[in-house]
Amino acid sequence: MNKVSVILGSDSDVEVFRKVSQVLDDFDVPYERRIISAHRTPDILKDYVLHAERKGIQVFIAVAGMSAALPGVIASHTVRPVIGVPVATSSPVLGFDAMLSIIQMPPGVPVAAVAVNGGMNAGLLAVEILALADPALAEKLSTFRAKQRDKAVARDREFGEQGGK
């Protein structure tokens, strides 16, 4: 059973999706993926979200650029957590427009937001949410965090050993 749904606003968001999917794959979290436009196919999006929740989806990750309505529209149709990932475009604002769209939700429509092109963090946040009810997943997450810490300590050690004159 898939626990996470990753929805892209368009196929131009695939690179960010790859970062999300890598994390979910690394933690063995089952997910499904779709491309559904909040603007062009809002009726399909609504039907999908309602059915996905009934199928057991626990977390939605919405990857969208420009006006980035996707996370908010999803959140308006579910009681499950929604994580919005703003995508940088070639416009002069480089994803800031998408970020503002995601973080400016009206009261009662919560959406978590990660950094522009923050697919890795979106995947990790989904894992953290699922780990609240899954001790084995929580243990994998603890191991991941310990490895991150060890790498940071090793980098500091190497840097310090290089010294100066």
Contact 5, 68 (CB under 8 A): no
pLDDT of residue 165: 67
Strand partners of residue 32: 5
Q: What pLDDT shows up at residue 16? A: 93
**pLDDT for the residue 66:** 87
Sign, CA dihedral 120-29-66-68, equals negative
Quick check: 123 and 112 in contact, CB under 8 A?
no
Residues 27 and 45 grouped into a single domain: yes
95-126: per-residue pLDDT in tens? 888 998 999 999 999 999 999 999 999 999 99
On whether both 121 and 149 belong to a single domain, the answer is no
Q: Are residues 96 and 72 in the same domain?
A: yes
74, 155: one domain: no
CATH (domain of 86)? 3.40.50.1970
What range defines the domain where residue 157 resides? 135-165
In which residue ranges of the chain is pLDDT below 50?
none
Q: What is the DSSP letter of 11?
A: G
Are 113 and 87 spatial neighbours (Cβ–Cβ below 8 Å)?
no
